[in-house]
A and B are shown apart, each in its own frame.
Chain A
């Protein structure tokens, strides 16, 4: 009996539906957007699409606003994710060691994550109001009145980072706590019997054993963080000027204020490239670190 592949073509007919489904659902919009990014399309006023080659891309790459938005996004993402990870891991460790009332903390720490970013931003806007907000009142106690939380570029970025950290640290807590609870307890008991201090147990056991999880958590937060738009939109609208404009907000402004769809598509693809670039660099670095331990 021969086991060579069947020569008939029927097998392709069975694969075809799934293939078409994938094509229409995921690949078609992507390809469509790519095609659009090489055209000039305006919806308002409607003019027929015109093929312009790489004009959209060169225009974007030549604009200072684009590079500014990359910088703003990168600053917000890297600082806030670093803070989220450190704070989140610390809180997870605390909760893991069953402080009194841990279950209450566990629920309340997770709440910010369940709120819509828009409402978080709205609340933050009240909190950080330079005259009426409670944050202002707090700083007034130290003689720092009416700080320009949302109106000075560096203050605005710091405020955005604060809000991001507040909202997304719970995500890190949740995953790191799950990771901590999945670690084998005997390993730590063995270390305790061997008189290894708490700090060394963390440094030499907990941290390396959770490193793969940490890499994944930070990666998810980085990718998610790059997409930040709602918080910025509500809190600062990208201002003052374009000093807090992130990549996605920039794309939104192009698409829905100027209705320049071709330009927006090109911007989206550049955004994709930026994320892939940062993501790849990050994963390469993380891989190296994990390999050191495993």
Chain B
């Protein structure tokens, strides 16, 4: 496995993108290191694909600069950037066989035939495409097509891989398989990769670092586990993790948080950090509501149960607010009845009620 070094490879220097008067990406700064697997994630329309396309040169940069390997490529044609891109709907050449698709760019650039054959064969072996080399894309399944698209990208030995939601047209099972394959492939080749997705699970499982975006703004850039454990704000906390984090409006006083008249004790350090407040957002993940280091009982009204086998989800209410708790399968709860879960207060997050920033 190739470790990512800390040399900056791709630098976005305050780039912006406007369509007419609409600014879709306000000034954005991001540095990506050599060999790193970066995932841009966010809801639809957050500017992640636009950012990727600006890196590829398919979209012009309104202001700011893009550097790849120390060269200013802000206004360079897509072909001059030595990137290879995998598109959401594969973008294979429909009239060419798999072999021709993968080898086409090399053929145009005058690579000797023996080398093309060798590299196509190598990629086909790596991606399990050998039996299909003479088929046309229309005679392939979605997963096979996507592997062809990946093969086409990797035979070029580019400086940077760009992935634009490559797995979103595949079924769930294939998606899980392919994301592992892509990640292993990238680690083996050690090529810098920028990957766009709206699927937070994909982002968490694949990335060295995840870039969470909202409305063109980067909300947080961090390793997946830090994103989960220390979300920078309520948006990131809500976006990362499944089922999503529960949020309650609570008051803090007397060393505890007060939710719907119930006392949830805080550690002295936590209370000291937050202080006494009339209104503050308490965030707790469903998986942290079944005991732990600092359990605090919380009584809620159970609406329904969702047994998933390994654990059960209790969907209910505390006062007016909805709550989802992940508990052990035999947890004693009945729909329509009250039940008590144990919140692990050491895993609780607090956010400012107005700025939504982490406290």
Binding-face segment, A61-69, A113-121, A143-151, A182-190? A182-190
B106-123 interface (Cβ within 8 A of A): 108-109
- Do A187 and B56 contact each other (CB < 8 Å), given the known contacts A194-B84, A204-B108? no
Contacts of B80 in A (CB 8 A): 195
| A209 vs B93: C-alpha distance when bound (angstroms) | 9
- Do A294 and B79 contact each other (CB < 8 Å), given the known contacts A189-B87, A193-B56, A204-B104? no
* A32 located at the interface, meaning its Cβ lies under 8 Å from any Cβ of chain B in the complex: no
| A192 vs B80: C-alpha distance when bound (angstroms) | 9
The 23 listed contacts between A and B (C-beta, < 8 Å) are A186-B88, A186-B89, A186-B90, A187-B91, A189-B58, A189-B78, A189-B85, A190-B91, A192-B77, A192-B78, A192-B79, A193-B56, A193-B57, A194-B79, A194-B104, A194-B108, A194-B156, A195-B105, A195-B109, A197-B108, A204-B93, A209-B94, A294-B136
Contacts of B24 in A (CB 8 A): none
| A209 vs B162: C-alpha distance when bound (angstroms) | 26
Q: Mark A82-108, 1 if CB is under 8 A from B, else 0.
A: 000000000000000000000000000
Smallest CB gap from A187: residue in B: B91
- Do A190 and B87 contact each other (CB < 8 Å), given the known contacts A196-B108, A209-B95, A293-B95? yes
* A44 located at the interface, meaning its Cβ lies under 8 Å from any Cβ of chain B in the complex: no
**Cβ–Cβ contact B58 & A193, under 8 A:** yes
Smallest CB gap from B109: residue in A: A195
Size bracket of the A interface: 10 to 19
Interface size on B, residues (CB 8 A): 28
Tell which of B84, B108, B109 touches A193, judged by Cβ atoms closer than 8 Å: B84
Contacts of B108 in A (CB 8 A): 194, 196-197, 200, 204
* B92 located at the interface, meaning its Cβ lies under 8 Å from any Cβ of chain A in the complex: yes
**Cβ–Cβ contact B95 & A186, under 8 A:** no
| A205 vs B105: C-alpha distance when bound (angstroms) | 12
Cβ-closest 4 pairs across A and B? A195-B79, A186-B91, A194-B105, A190-B91
A154-191 interface (Cβ within 8 A of B): 184, 186-187, 189-191
Contacts of A153 in B (CB 8 A): none
* B83 located at the interface, meaning its Cβ lies under 8 Å from any Cβ of chain A in the complex: yes
Give, as a whole number of angstroms, the nearest-CB distance from B90 to chain A.
8
Contacts of B93 in A (CB 8 A): 187, 191, 204-205
| A204 vs B90: C-alpha distance when bound (angstroms) | 18
Tell which of B56, B91, B136 touches A184, judged by Cβ atoms closer than 8 Å: B91
Give, as a whole number of angstroms, the nearest-CB distance from A21 to chain B.
40
Smallest CB gap from B101: residue in A: A190
* A112 located at the interface, meaning its Cβ lies under 8 Å from any Cβ of chain B in the complex: no
Give, as a whole number of angstroms, the nearest-CB distance from A279 to chain B.
25
A195-251 interface (Cβ within 8 A of B): 195-197, 200, 204-205, 208-209
**Cβ–Cβ contact A193 & B83, under 8 A:** yes
Smallest CB gap from B79: residue in A: A195
Give, as a whole number of angstroms, the nearest-CB distance from B7 to chain A.
24
| A261 vs B79: C-alpha distance when bound (angstroms) | 67
| A205 vs B56: C-alpha distance when bound (angstroms) | 20
- Do A192 and B136 contact each other (CB < 8 Å), given the known contacts A184-B89, A205-B93, A293-B95? no
Smallest CB gap from B81: residue in A: A193
| A195 vs B107: C-alpha distance when bound (angstroms) | 12
Contacts of A197 in B (CB 8 A): 108
User: Quick one: which of A194, A200, A208 has the most chain B CB within 10 A?
Assistant: A194
Contacts of A187 in B (CB 8 A): 91-94
Smallest CB gap from B100: residue in A: A204
Contacts of B57 in A (CB 8 A): 192-193
Contacts of B109 in A (CB 8 A): 195
Smallest CB gap from B89: residue in A: A186
Contacts of B89 in A (CB 8 A): 184, 186
